């Protein structure tokens, strides 16, 4: 993040655009996987209580 903010002052380059795209993709995948894991564990827990 510090590298990105320091380069923003100098101007946006294609390298910075690529880095930002990769960072956004990694964060998005992390959020989606966390949501799916929470949903899976919640459904598993609910199913165990029903038995």
Domain holding 26, by residue range, is 4-43
- Tell me, yes or no, if the pTM score tops 0.75: no
Looking from the CA of 5 toward its CB, the CA atoms found within 13 Å total 2
Look at residue 33 and tell me if it is in a domain: yes
What is the reported pLDDT for 23?
95
Give pLDDT tens digits for 1-51: 677 777 777 777 888 889 889 999 999 999 999 999 999 888 777 766 655
End-to-end CA distance of the chain: give it in Å, rounded.
Answer: 48
Look at residue 51 and tell me if it is in a domain: no
Report d(CA 50, CA 46) in Å as an integer.
Answer: 6
What is the reported pLDDT for 48?
67
What is the reported pLDDT for 49?
63
What is the reported pLDDT for 11?
77
Q: How many domains does the chain have?
A: 1
What is the reported pLDDT for 27?
98
Look at residue 50 and tell me if it is in a domain: no
């Amino acid at each position: 993040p510090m590298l990105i903010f320091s380069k923003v002052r100098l101007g946006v380059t294609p390298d910075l655009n690529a880095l930002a795209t990769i960072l956004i993709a990694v964060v998005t995948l992390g959020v989606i996987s966390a949501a799916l894991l929470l949903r899976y564990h919640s459904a598993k827990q609910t199913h165990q209580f029903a038995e």
